[in-house]
Structures are given as C-alpha cells and as structure tokens.
Amino acid sequence: MIAADGAEGSTARRQERLGLLFAALCAFDGAFTAPFAKMNTDMADASFVAAAVVVFGALAATLQLALRGELGLLVRRDVVAGLVGIGFLGTAVAFLLFFEGSQRSTAIETALCVQSEPAYALLLAWLALGHPPTLPRVAATLAILVGIAIAVGFEQAQASPGLWLLLATPLAWQISHLVVLRRLRGVPPHVLTAARYLYGGVFLVAAWLARGGLAELPDASLWPRLLPTLALQGVILSWGGTLLWYNAITRLDLARATSIVVPSIPLLSFGASFLLLGEVASAREWIGLALTAAGVIAFVRTESAA
C-alpha cells in the first residue's frame, strides 16, 4: 500500500514537472508570435499572411489526425457545425483581426493589446453562461484594462486603427470558446485544434481570394525570406503553441498554467521584439505591462464559477 502510494506520488510529481515544462515552452513560444506577425505583415498583405499561416498550421494538424486515424472526426454529423463555427470565429475572424492589427502597430503594442482577453471572458461568462462577476475579478479586469491603456496611450489609440483591431481579437477567441462549451463538450482538444486550423483556413483563403489576393502576391524577391517565417509561425508558433498549451493544462490546474503563461508572454515578447525588430519598450509600456500582468495573475487566482 505504501509502495503504491509512493508510486502514485512519484507519477504525480513527474506529471507536474512536465506540466511546468510545457507551460514554460508555451510562454517562450508565444513570445515570438507578435514579432513574427510584424515581420511577416511588413513583407506581405495581412490577409495573405493570415491565410498562409493558417494553411501551414492546417497541414500540420491534418498530418497529426491522419497518423492517428481520426480525420473522420472532423465531419462527424453531431459536431461538424460547431467545429466549423470555431474555425470561423476562433481562427478566421481572430487571425484576420490579429494580422491586420499587427500590420498597423508595433510588435510590443500587439503583445500588450491581446492581454484584454480576461475582460471579454468576464463579460461573456456573465451574459452567456450566467456566471455573475465577482468583485475581485472586476478589480483584476480593471487593472488589466488600465495597464493596457497606460502602455498604449489614449492619443496613440485614437490615431491607430490597428490597436482597436488587436483589442477586438480576443473577443473572437472568447466567443469560439463559448461554442465549445455549448456544443462541443467531450471533443478531444487536438480535434478542436485541427478543426480551427482546417476550417479556419478555408474561410481565410476564400477571403484572401475575394479581395483579389492572387493579383497582389508578394514580390518574388521576398519569397526566400517570407516562406520560412510563414511556415514557422504557422507550424511552430500557432499550431505548436496550441498543443503546448493543451499539454500544460492537462497536467496543471488551469489557473496555475494561465498565471505562468499569460503574463510571461508580453514580458518575453519585449525581449523578442528587441532581438528581431530592434523595438525598445518605453517606460510607459513597462509600467503598463506590470499592471496588466498583475491583473492577469489576480484574475486567474480568484475563485472561479462552477
């Protein structure tokens, strides 16, 4: 009995260490999302970048499902409508907003603006799921929003439509999460991920073609540099980052994983943006980041609704 308890304890500690490793890798991976988005949208139109990144992610997701013999799960009658829905909302709409916003903003601003997601989570949980906001979560959300406002600045927000596109991006993610909660409970995470990239890719490619994308392909001289960065963002930073996240939250509780990953990403993004693009964060941005990170940590550590 004692030996069995010891073995179970050892397994639990091993899983916890793996969870912490996956959370750290997820944060490191996410730190490069904003700088690479800025790099890619500086070389090509945002709608093309969004479509290309998701196509690369979809290829990786398709290969994974094919190797597992699970491609048929994507067209199962009882879930296909919901899977198409999260592909449209969580990937097509979100990626288009994200890359259009990135093209019009700095990488540092991009990393900061998407930290607005807890505010949408609080509002939608109240309106759609009937979870009334608690005072600690309201206070934490206000800290996040004030931190973003300090970092970005009111005058800059007025002058840059890209910031508003970035601030709207997490809303698309959160609405897609509601679709999962309402219609897709029990669908494995890797299937949800694959559906987001495959169905989202269809919408994004269609949108790019409808905007006359074939007539405005990037200049041939840019392809040797652009193609590898698009592939890296699609496979490693997007699809790979999603898999790292799911591996973290299956081994750690959600609040702990979130408190490690979410505040770490913009902090590490400041360093990645400097290394890749030469962007240097201002004192105002550092202050805003500190307040935003404190708000995120406070938010995920408050008691959640059942």
Closest Cα to residue 301, out of 257, 266, 264?
Answer: 257
Taking the C-alpha atoms of residue 99 and residue 204, their distance in angstroms, rounded to an integer, is 12
- Read off the pLDDT of residues 269-296 as tens digits, 9 standing for 90 and up: 988 999 889 988 888 888 888 888 888 7
Q: Please say whether the beta carbons of 27 and 264 come within 8 A.
A: yes
Report the predicted TM-score, pTM, of the whole model to 2 decimal places.
0.83
Distance (Å) of CA 259 to CA 23, 27, 200: 10, 11, 28
Taking the C-alpha atoms of residue 131 and residue 124, their distance in angstroms, rounded to an integer, is 9
Taking the C-alpha atoms of residue 137 and residue 206, their distance in angstroms, rounded to an integer, is 39
Q: What is the enclosing helix (H) or strand (E) of 34?
A: helix 33-43
- Read off the pLDDT of residues 150-199 as tens digits, 9 standing for 90 and up: 887 766 656 678 888 998 998 898 888 788 878 888 888 889 889 999 99
Q: Identify the residue whose tokens are 């008691």.
A: 303
Q: What is the rounded end-to-end Cα distance, in angstroms, of the chain?
A: 34
* CB-facing half-sphere around the CA of 6: CA atoms within 13 A: 3
Count of CB atoms within 10 A of residue 4's CB?
8
pLDDT band for 305, please (50, 70, 90 cuts). very low
- Read off the pLDDT of residues 36-87 as tens digits, 9 standing for 90 and up: 999 999 999 999 999 999 999 999 999 999 999 999 999 999 999 999 999 9
- pLDDT reading at 7 higher than 70: no
- Read off the pLDDT of residues 227-241 as tens digits, 9 standing for 90 and up: 999 999 999 999 998
- pLDDT reading at 11 higher than 70: yes
Taking the C-alpha atoms of residue 282 and residue 274, their distance in angstroms, rounded to an integer, is 12
Count of CB atoms within 10 A of residue 42's CB?
13
- pLDDT value, residue 306: 43
Over the range 82-109, which residues count as b (16 or more CB within 10 Å of their CB) and which as e? bbbbbbbbbbbbbbbbbbbbbbbbbbbb
